[in-house]
Chain A
Amino acid sequence: AQSVTQLDSHVSVSEGTPVLLRCNYSSSYSPSLFWYVQHPNKGLQLLLKYTSAATLVKGINGFEAEFKKSETSFHLTKPSAHMSDAAEYFCVVSFSGGYQKVTFGTGTKLQVIP
């Protein structure tokens, strides 16, 4: 069975300070891992993905995430928050199994304070 845990339901940062959104996963197989972003009243947009290539993955809008197998983590970071980063972020895990099942985390709402 696979699962994903987003450790914080809400994160608040000041504009210009670093962002850290935490995600831990469990998977019996080699996982693929994703971060999606959802702005208010919009669908989900892919930020970045890990698929067993480089462990440090760079995404759009200056975000990046590092796959750490020993810690079963895939935390999302950004050096400097912008007001437009305020949104909900979802960590997602899937595996190379028989069918394409993905499991979503419960989401982290990021607030950026001016």
Chain B
Amino acid sequence: DVKVTQSSRYLVKRTGEKVFLECVQDMDHENMFWYRQDPGLGLRLIYFSYDVKMKEKGDIPEGYSVSREKKERFSLILESASTNQTSMYLCASSFPRNKSYEQYFGPGTRLTVT
């Protein structure tokens, strides 16, 4: 079974802090994704990566950056956390040669910025 893990289930940070969210997958997937989930808005793509050291902006990249130094690990960075970044963050991975583009999700990190 594919396993996608996220470093924290719940996180509370203060405004202005630098925040790191870590995601690790164990299936050698090339593609990895970061989403945020907010009530009534569904999932919105922040960034994705299709290879080590490669990254592409998603629909809402402002205020975020990412790092992919190893294939299995994809980090989301909030350079200076703000209250409007309070949300559920979901990481996903997929295998690009699987043409159905099925994504496998981690359990999520619920981030609260106070």
Contacts and interface: CB of A to CB of B under 8 A. Distances in A.
Contact of B42 (A46, A96, A105): A105
A43 B108 contact: yes
Contacts of B25: none
B107 interface: yes
A28 B40 CA distance: 25
B114 interface: no
B99 interface: yes
A43 B5 CA distance: 10
Interface string B86-108: 00001010101001111111111
Contact of B105 (A43, A49, A51): A43
B50 interface: yes
A94 interface: yes
A40 to B, nearest CB: 11
Contact of B31 (A100, A104, A107): A100
Interface residues of B, number: 28
A43 B90 contact: yes
B43 interface: yes
B100 A32 contact: yes
The interface size bin for chain A is 20 to 34
A9 B40 contact: yes
Given A43-B107, A43-B108, A99-B50, A106 B101 contact: no
A43 B106 contact: yes
A100 B105 CA distance: 15
A27 interface: no
Contacts of A63: none
10 contacts: A32-B100, A32-B101, A41-B108, A43-B90, A44-B90, A45-B105, A96-B99, A102-B101, A102-B103, A104-B44
Interface of A: 9, 32, 34, 36, 41-46, 49, 51, 90, 94, 96, 99-102, 104-107
Interface of B: 4, 9, 31, 35, 40-45, 48, 50, 56, 90, 92, 94, 96, 99-108, 110
